[in-house]
């Protein structure tokens, strides 16, 4: 159906920029709501950015201005660009997809990747 594989995580110093990637393999040729979520130890998974099939974007208040979600024209990759990364950005980042529109930052996405770990050092 659909497979999501996140890459780009690792260890990075605070203040730097990086880009996470999600490779999308879709054999259904469907339109999807797409999102990025993160989870830190002891905290609930939270949505940080979303991209709807109509091109609209949604961001959590805590990341506005620093995070940017985008997708290549072929819709084979979903990206999350992060600027001025800080230690609170540390966590495991997940790519999510759903054939239903307007999921935004809802945790109800039905397709998930395995995640990529981001660790930010001060």
pLDDT of residue 30: 80
Quickly state the pLDDT bin for 6 (edges 50, 70, 90).
Answer: very high
In contact, 33 and 102? CB cutoff 8 Å:
yes
Reported residue count of the chain is 122
Q: Compute the distance between CA of residue 77 and CA of residue 75 in angstroms, rounded to an integer.
A: 6
Backbone angles phi, psi at 89, to 5 degrees: -80, -10
pLDDT of residue 1: 84
pLDDT of residue 28: 80
Its sign, for the CA torsion 69, 74, 75, 79, is negative
In contact, 17 and 81? CB cutoff 8 Å:
yes
| More confident: 3 or 41 | 3
13-46 pLDDT tens trace: 999 999 999 999 987 878 899 999 999 988 999 9
pLDDT of residue 116: 98
Task: Show Cβ contacts of residue 13 under 8 Å, excluding neighbours closer than 6 positions.
Answer: 120, 121
Backbone angles phi, psi at 2, to 5 degrees: -140, 140
Q: Compute the distance between CA of residue 12 and CA of residue 22 in angstroms, rounded to an integer.
A: 19
59-92 pLDDT tens trace: 999 999 999 999 999 999 999 999 999 999 999 9
């Amino acid at each position: 159906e659909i497979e999501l594989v996140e890459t780009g995580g690792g260890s990075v110093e605070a203040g730097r920029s990086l880009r996470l990637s999600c490779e999308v393999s879709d054999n259904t040729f469907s339109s999807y709501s797409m999102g990025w979520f993160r989870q830190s130890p002891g905290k609930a998974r939270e949505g940080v950015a979303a991209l709807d099939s109509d091109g609209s974007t949604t961001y959590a208040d805590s990341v506005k201005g620093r995070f940017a979600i985008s997708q290549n024209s072929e819709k084979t990759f979903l990206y999350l660009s992060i600027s001025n990364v800080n230690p609170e950005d540390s966590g495991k980042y997940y790519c999510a997809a759903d054939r239903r529109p307007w999921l935004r930052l809802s945790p109800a996405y039905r397709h998930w990747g395995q995640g990529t770990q981001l660790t930010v050092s001060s």
